[in-house]
């Protein structure tokens, strides 16, 4: 198969990953009207295409196990029960994609098709059809991401963690990840930023209590969990969440500026003023804050910059060098 035919490769990947038996139309030429480029699925690695056209064998479900490179962690129980009912009646129609388990001879890791494997177990089906392929760890993660993203089965957090593994374990750039999964570099970057949210907010996102659009405005915001709970309670949209997060930050800063300084903060300001020779102000909003030095001339600014860059060494303001 020609490696530079992304539309053909994409069709092969869809057939491989589908939960429904492919129709005969998938073996004929595509319609004359070409689909929009944005709708074309990403082309899988060449090794995957070869695997999808290779021989099909049957393996016991006991010889299969989920891959550690599977980005998906949450499986909807109701959807699994529905798939199990279908498997019980018709069997598993589409082969799973697996690779040999290096740690357990005779056993295999599931690269694509874990839902079908789980459903087969619930349906008490003891064997499933599989394609066996020797894929690398990087290809395994790539394929698992592509499969789940094409199905829209991943939560935003699972997607972000998958991208993070591709960055950290396999040295992919954000641009390369976008090429692999058929997303823009900006989408990859924005998805990765979600991992900067507090764990509690990430958990709400994984559980579907908030959406990625509602979560993004909370990145880097103090008390993000409190805001997220208000968002859920009031049923705010993503745009309303953004406005609320901004107003929440302004109110906290205004309230903090009106509070009298505690004695420890005032003493610290005085100590720093004596040590530096400049007026020092410390502001704290309960989570973080600022330290402000006030200067009265460009020479004093130059002195501050010099001392910060030299570990505190005072500059002679009469020195013209």
CATH of residue 81's domain is: 3.90.1530.30
C-alpha span between 133 and 140 (Å, rounded):
10
C-alpha span between 96 and 111 (Å, rounded):
8
Q: Is the pLDDT of residue 9 over 70?
A: no
| pLDDT band with cut points at 50, 70 and 90 for residue 124 | very high
Same domain, 20 and 143: yes
For residue 10, the SS3 value is helix
Domain range enclosing 147: 6-25+34-154
Angle at 85 between CA 81 and CA 86, to 5 degrees: 120
C-alpha span between 44 and 149 (Å, rounded):
12
Same domain, 268 and 226: no
For residue 225, the SS3 value is helix
How many Cβ atoms sit within 10 Å of the Cβ of residue 94?
Answer: 20
**Domains identified in the chain, total number:** 3
Backbone angles phi, psi at 91, to 5 degrees: 85, 180
C-alpha span between 215 and 224 (Å, rounded):
9
Same domain, 273 and 233: no
The structure's pTM equals 0.56
C-alpha span between 72 and 66 (Å, rounded):
10
Q: Which of 132, 154, 176 is the last residue of a domain?
A: 154
Q: Is the pLDDT of residue 312 over 80?
A: no
Angle at 8 between CA 192 and CA 117, to 5 degrees: 60
Tell me the pLDDT tens digit for each residue of 86-104. Answer: 898 888 888 889 999 988 9
Q: Which of 236, 257, 278 is the last residue of a domain?
A: 257
Same domain, 302 and 224: no
Residue 1 in domain: no
| pLDDT band with cut points at 50, 70 and 90 for residue 8 | very low
Of 29 and 97, the one with more pLDDT? 97
Residue 19 in domain: yes
Residue 77 in domain: yes
C-alpha span between 178 and 188 (Å, rounded):
6
CB 164 within 8 A of CB 195: yes
| pLDDT band with cut points at 50, 70 and 90 for residue 51 | very low
Tell me the pLDDT tens digit for each residue of 147-175. Answer: 778 776 788 998 999 999 999 888 899 99
Same domain, 93 and 146: yes
C-alpha span between 148 and 13 (Å, rounded):
12
The question of whether 114 is a catalytic residue gets the answer yes
The DSSP-derived string for 115-128 is HHHHHHHHTT--EE
CB 96 within 8 A of CB 113: yes
| pLDDT band with cut points at 50, 70 and 90 for residue 313 | low
For residues 19-35, give the mean pLDDT: 37
C-alpha span between 174 and 186 (Å, rounded):
8
Residue 159 in domain: no
Tell me the pLDDT tens digit for each residue of 172-205. Answer: 999 999 988 888 999 999 999 999 999 999 999 9
Residue 44 in domain: yes
Distance, C-alpha 264 to centroid of its chain: 42
CB 122 within 8 A of CB 93: no
Q: Which of 135, 154, 173 is the last residue of a domain?
A: 154
Phi-psi region of 180 (alpha: psi -120 to 50; beta: other; left: phi over 0): alpha
Residue 217 in domain: yes
Which one of the listed residues 109, 114, 142, 159 is annotated catalytic? 114
Residue 69 in domain: yes
């Amino acid at each position: 198969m020609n490696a530079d035919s992304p539309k053909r490769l994409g069709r092969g990947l869809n057939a491989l990953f589908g939960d429904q038996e492919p129709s005969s139309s998938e073996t004929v030429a595509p319609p004359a009207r070409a689909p929009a480029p944005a709708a074309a699925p990403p082309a899988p690695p060449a090794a995957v295409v070869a695997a999808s056209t290779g021989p099909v064998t049957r393996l016991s479900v006991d010889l299969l196990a989920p891959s550690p490179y599977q980005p998906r962690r949450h499986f909807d129980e109701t959807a699994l029960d529905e798939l199990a009912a279908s498997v019980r009646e018709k069997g598993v129609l589409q082969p799973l994609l697996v690779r040999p388990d290096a740690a357990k001879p005779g056993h295999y890791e599931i690269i694509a098709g874990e839902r079908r494997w789980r459903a087969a177990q619930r349906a008490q089906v003891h064997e499933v059809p599989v394609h066996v392929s020797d894929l690398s760890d990087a290809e395994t993660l790539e394929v698992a991401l592509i499969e789940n993203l094409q199905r829209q089965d991943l939560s935003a957090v699972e997607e972000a963690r998958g991208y993070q593994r591709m960055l950290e374990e396999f040295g992919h750039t954000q641009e390369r990840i976008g090429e692999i999964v058929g997303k823009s570099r900006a989408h990859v970057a924005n998805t990765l930023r979600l991992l900067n949210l507090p764990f509690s907010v990430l958990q709400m996102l994984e559980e579907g209590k908030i959406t990625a659009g509602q979560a993004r405005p909370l990145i880097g915001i103090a008390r993000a969990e409190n805001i997220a709970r208000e968002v859920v309670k009031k049923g705010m949209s993503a745009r309303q969440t953004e406005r609320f997060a901004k107003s929440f930050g302004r109110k906290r800063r205004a309230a903090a500026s009106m509070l009298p300084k505690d004695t420890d903060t005032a003493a610290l300001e005085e100590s720093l003023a004596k040590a530096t020779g400049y007026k020092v102000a410390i502001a704290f909003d309960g989570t973080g804050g600022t330290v402000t030095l006030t200067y009265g001339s460009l020479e004093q600014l130059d002195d501050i910059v010099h001392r910060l860059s030299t570990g505190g060494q005072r500059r002679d303001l009469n020195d013209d060098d």
